[in-house]
Structure 1
Amino acid sequence: MDVQTDRQSGQQQAAAERAAERTGPRQAKIALLRKPGGIAEADEPSRVATRIDRLGRYYPDVRPVSPAAIAAGDPAAMTAAGAILERIAGTNDLLGVGYLEGGVTASAAVGRVNIRNAQGRLAGYGTGSLVSPELLLTNHHVLPDAATAGFSVVEFDYQDGVDGLPRPVRAFALDPDRFFAADRTLDFALVAVKATADELRPFGFNRLIASEGKAIVGDFVTIVQHPGGGKKQVALRENRVVDVLDDFLHYETDTEPGSSGSPVFNDQWEVVALHHAGVPAGGRAEYGGFLNEGVRVSKLLKFLREQPFPPDRQALLDRLATRPERARPADGGAPQVLTLSMPFDIRLRAEPAAGRIDPDYSNRAGYDPGFLPGHTVPLPGLSAELAGLAALNRQATGEPRYVLPYHHFSVVMHKERRLAMFTAVNIDGRTSRALRREADHWSLDPRVAVTEQIGEEIYRDNPLDRGHLVRRLDPAWGATEPIAQLANDDTFHFTNCSPQHKDFNQNKTTWAGLEDYVLNSADNFDLKVSVVTGPVLAADDDHYRGVRLPRQFWKVVAMVKDGGALSATAYLLSQEELIRGLEVAAGFDYGAYRTYQVPVRRIAELTGLSFGDLPAADPLAGLESTSVAQEVRTAADLVL
């Protein structure tokens, strides 16, 4: 009993019209995909570059490729991009066994939706997937309203086990009174499941990720589905994205009625779309004359972010960003080890490996201005001129839109210099964790245009290091180690680094220990500090590989003294002598390896930033002798 309603027909008609309008561009993209390396040409350069960067989160040997070079058709860039995409997303059917493990995990959250009417009669079938600990995602034409959802149920484990026998089915009613949101245009419905957390935990959930770069033209997709209302099945490998629209993806794959509401996954088992329609497509034999359409996940999340919800429902929606939990044995022991047993009989959700950046950017709270007890230390203020030069966070939901929040710190980028104007981090000495450093793997931030951040290209074959602005362990604190690990990993964004000579970056100077010294000062109340750091982006910085290299770096460190007073100190360091051989040297400012304490107002003058009340909290503010920089050789030289 398939879903055959006017709603579904309307969605198919709209999809068919979009498919017809895109026939020419789609066929051109398919032709490019047949060329060796053509996958690097079949989508927009910025999308190709963002996709490569995202793949780098899963494959340590993948390095970013400049979108400008791709757009210009630079032979080296096109060769590099094509080689990466052909190897990972190309036609080679050989995949690591981790792909199967990921599929087993992802498929557990997929269930069959039994659509029932007010009389309790079965009206049709659809597919749905848990996308949070309590919310199920399917199509609007499957669950068009709260009333229909209230009559319907979802069944998990409607499938055969590894022994070929049917698994025991678990059925749950839906709970639209607790949460229901839907939209006809984007053809989605999001509804709560009437079950306890313990009842749903074995199935896990597939998080929805707003970030771009999850799929481009040429990527293969996998759909886990209940075709025709039958047992759970999966369409593997011969399913390729052939067009990317503003709100939809077009792809070739095998689906049937009853597959409506199925999650569409990339090879990394990230949900890229919500399947909703299959339509004729001009007799294209390469995909059986049919084309399938899914609603892009980023558009669903954008729609939800823009809707007003009561506090109780907003709290449930916020949990879309929650990390899946591992199941634990009944005796409360250690998490169980993920093992593979096909097909689809495993329930355990694995945590991302250490050193991998969390791909969902919607759950970063960023720098906290109220972190220091009894005081508010806001982010530095930008003049109108600087605000116009700040790169925009394309996923921002509030003001100012140029702030990039991470776990325990924030960054503001200069879009022309492609470097941070500043970073701001909260450090909690009471709950800090000394995490082991994994192999470095740096990533671009998908919230910022790739043309507004420096990637790997400047660091090749020279003595330049990727110098952390927020130190790796500064934000690595929290009640649990996973929280600290997420913050640690976030520091490996290119937005948080600046080109620094390796001797400057690796030398253990006074600069490297400033935060630690202030944090552990005997006069520091509550063992907390807030640190703002950045490069001095001077107009006369010289060029190297198209980037102007900063010669000086600064810090402003704030703490609360035992008496409750705020103290703010500022520091300046230069690497000019060390970068002299890389570009044309300008006048000498400060010697290499020499750290200076300077008035906070001096940093404001150098950067054009406003530090609010911090200059008045500077112990150097009233001392005439501090009108020039004072070198810091030992801790005794610091004035706190």
Structure 2
Amino acid sequence: MTAQDNLLARLRRKNAMLRGGQPDIFDEGLQERADKPLEQLVLEESIAMLRLRPVLPIKNNQLALEFVDNDDRRNWKARLELTVAAANAAIPSVGRIELSGSRFAWIGTGWLVAEDILVTNRHVALEFTQRRGQRFAFQPGIDVGTMNAHVDFVQEIGNTKRALLFQLTRPLWIQDKPGPDIAFFEIARTSDNDAKLATPLDLAERPAATDDAATIGYPAYDSRIPQPEHMRRIFSDIYDKKRFAPGVVVRVTDSQMEHDCTTLGGNSGSVVLDLKTGKAIGLHFSGTYLDRNYAVPSNVVHSLLDRVTSGKVWIETSTLPRESARGSAERSARIDGVGRGSATVTKEADIAEETAIEDYRDRTGYDDDFLLDDKNRAVKVELPTLAEDGDVLTFELDGKRQTNLRYEHYSVIMSKSRRMCLLSAVNIDGNLARKAKRVSWKWDPRIPKSQQIMHECYGSAPKFSRGHMTRREDPGWGSRQEAKRGNEDSMHVTNTCPQMQAFNSPIWLALEDYALQHAKEDRMRISVFTGPYFDDADPTMFDVGIPLAFWKVIAFIHDLTRTLCATGYEMNQEQNLHPTEEFVFGQFRSRQLNCATQVPIRAIEFRCGIDFGRLASVDPLARDEEALGSGERVPLTSLDEIRFF
């Protein structure tokens, strides 16, 4: 089942539950495939879900039960009439954070958690504050000394004159990553016109899943969302005003809450309200368009608030729950790919087959002379080299210090500090490919187990899956015995990096197959290099640094030009991890935009410090202005968009 299949199944189940029926069995919908493409089915279910998740106006600090269409009215009016009192009690405590001395007029949502304390998101706060040692301060302003922040609690539809502004007097605490996305501010108790603050919201001690939830916040227009006409319909093309969005809290873990209320950028910092109790159960921080949204549970907010107000936060912040949200998506065992390829992210399986060093003495690894020209002469493509090799893991074999872990038809170079693959290089012969059964994961006995990651960050949600760098099937070619060795060798943990299952889009999986189709027909040979981008800012989860992006370079003799061709690609898994923060005006991540991107090989070299030698000069994008990493990356929406020359 592909990522699109999974999304379609999830949308159907949600829509069935919202209508009060039983969730559809996904396979029953497969008959529709003959008439409609998968993308259209996903879109139809997405629109249906949005129709069942209205966004309502707030006027004069009261919820206005004004619906866009009759479906909304039938599904929600009677239900919300029973809980409107709880909504109305909470609405005055939620405001819009407005700035002066900033490029933004306003920045997000915040709400009262104590008599003079407002809570919002860290990523909102960092747009206008900064840390100074053990203190926090407002940033320098544009044409003013420092930025100023106020909260307007009556930015509502229809209110064009009245404002209710309370100054944020100082930042009290901004939680560092990877902790929860929370920031607290001291807020003035009286407004500019001597009005008093509203009553703070009560925080639920034990937030739980509920069918009666809603967000209150300030959705902003997001130009990056697909099908903007549906966004305009749902929001009546009115943005930046206080809105109420009912929905369901799907589940709650120690560190995060998942809900499906309709939100946009600007909702960052919104309250997630339990309409039955009237208590705040979450602090919204991010969302994935047409899929799911995330919030910090109220008990986590309460715990940090207690530390801040008691002065203990300075020594106890390291004990707060961390956001394991990035790795908490539900995963199935595999995702089908396109063509010959299948997904290379796998769940926890039978682990840790033991092998002996002697088993590897006949492995030759990646072959520099694998590609052949028209006269059957080798076209040398050397193993890439690292500009700085201080982090390359070395090991001793037969009395020699080595860095190249040689396997059947492929090689791996390891990072010493990250304990995972820096570079995986494979030769693929499409004419000699053989299928083989998947085997268990293996340690490599040539290097210490302490330099390999078998368990720490891998496992069932919220942990990660083991993502192959060299695909499992790629080295599985040659004689029956060679293909068997290639398949089994690909199952070493040295050939993996932590990945979310949804990371492998169909295009990313199919790149090798597509290149094979364009290689010399009589040879069908390609060489592929794959690896992660390591960054000091990578999040640490389960005591492992998680790379957020990956690169791939493919080299072959093109069937038309009869010359060496090389192309580079990137893919970022941050949009597939459960997000830890949301851009202040959106950054919703559509599954429909989950695509690989063709990029200049020199840009990959610049970013990861690997020298691909002559390959950079035969790249069709070699002359692009973005060669050093600047410029816009255009996602590949089909394989036909790839440039080979």
Instruction: With the length of structure 2 as denominator, give the TM-score of the two structures.
Output: 0.41
The answer to which structure has the higher strand fraction is: 2
Instruction: With the length of structure 1 as denominator, give the TM-score of the two structures.
Output: 0.41
